[in-house]
Structure 1
Amino acid sequence: MENQALSIMRPQVARIESYPEVARRLEQHIKETEGQIGRIDELLDQFGADSSTLKDFALSFSGSMAAMGHTIAGDEILKNSFANFAFENFEIAAYKSLLILAELGGHGNVTCARLANLKEEQAMAQWLDENVAAVTTRFASLKEDGRTAKA
């Protein structure tokens, strides 16, 4: 899931020209996501498991394709904002479920890493939610002025 998130965010941030605040927040969340992957890998090591390389590749590939699909849209920044908000909430639900499963399985000791990941996802979702109006207003302003509203 986190590798998929990276494959979505990295192409987006590389294309952003007119929305520096979005680029800065995505760059911050990319770093957070890399840290989340590290925490997950540590937990997998504790349990003698590893992530599925094939599954990671497939999810990363599908994330890249999703990100590329928006590049042809005139409102790419808006579509990316909506998709990112939806994906962050998907991650939030997944981490909440994992916390419950860990507790039910008697592994309450692994919740710290999951809680850290969950809090970062919640913060990103909140930022996206709070900035939808600003991004939409900037998009409309650029279009109205006849300037390109390139992501």
Structure 2
Amino acid sequence: MGEVKIILLFILNARENIMSDLKDHFIDWLRDAHAMEEQAETMLNGMKDRVKDYPQLHNRVIQHLEETKQQQQQLKSCIERLDTSTSSMKDLAGKAVALGQTLSGFFVEDEIVKGSMSSYVFEHMEIASYTTLIAAAELVGDYETQMVLEKILKQEQAMADWLLENMPSITKAYLNQK
């Protein structure tokens, strides 16, 4: 009988360790998502002033910038609810990368077209990230965070859809200005 108890304790301990590892990954990925949204904010801030000649794009960038700021707060709340904090290093690294991307746009003539393409790619990276996070939230049983992530995912999908739908008109508008 003692051997059965030891085996059961071993199994329970192993399960707790697995769940702890899963939660650790989940928290790391939430921090990554927060850093990603900080990067998005920096990129969108850099982009909004340079697309003023394209009113529809300008308005959509401003709208998504506001969504991005809200997403940061929502992610921060989820992370804090899990008794942890955002990663300052990841946030700083994300901002540095975004600044580099923003500055690189100053040196290309067709920045508006390439910027739209880059934004579309970035939105899909966010979509992949949130899809992964939703699955992880479900697995660790964090349904409150899962609902937040599902809302954010819809916003990212809407932005990606908007970019894809409007890329032809953005391209034509750029070429017509030449």
Using CA pairs below 8 Å that are at least 6 residues apart, which structure has the higher relative contact order?
1
Seq. identity, %: 32
Q: Which runs of 5+ in 1 are unaligned?
A: 144-151
1:103 aligns with 2:163: no
Computing the radius of gyration from Cα coordinates, the structure with the larger value is 2
* Residue matched to 1:23: 58
Deviations 1:101-124 (A, max 9, x none): 111112223211101110100000
In structure 2, distance between residues paired with 1:116 and 1:125: 15
1:70 aligns with 2:70: no
Q: Give TM-score scaled by structure 1 length.
A: 0.92
TM-superposed deviation, 1:17: 3.1
Q: 2:72 aligns with which of 37, 42, 48?
A: 37
SS of alignment partner, residue 36 of structure 1: helix
In structure 2, distance between residues paired with 1:61 and 1:40: 20
1:9 aligns with 2:41: no
On the 8 A contact 1:96/1:118 being kept in 2, the answer is yes
Q: 2:155 aligns with which of 120, 125, 140?
A: 120
**CA-atom RMSD, angstroms?**
0.9
* Residue matched to 2:16: none
TM-superposed deviation, 1:129: 0.4
Q: Structure 1 stretches (4+) deviating beyond 4 angstroms?
A: none
> Which structure shows the higher helix fraction?
2
Aligned length: 143
* Residue matched to 1:129: 164
Q: Give TM-score scaled by structure 2 length.
A: 0.78
TM-superposed deviation, 1:45: 1.3
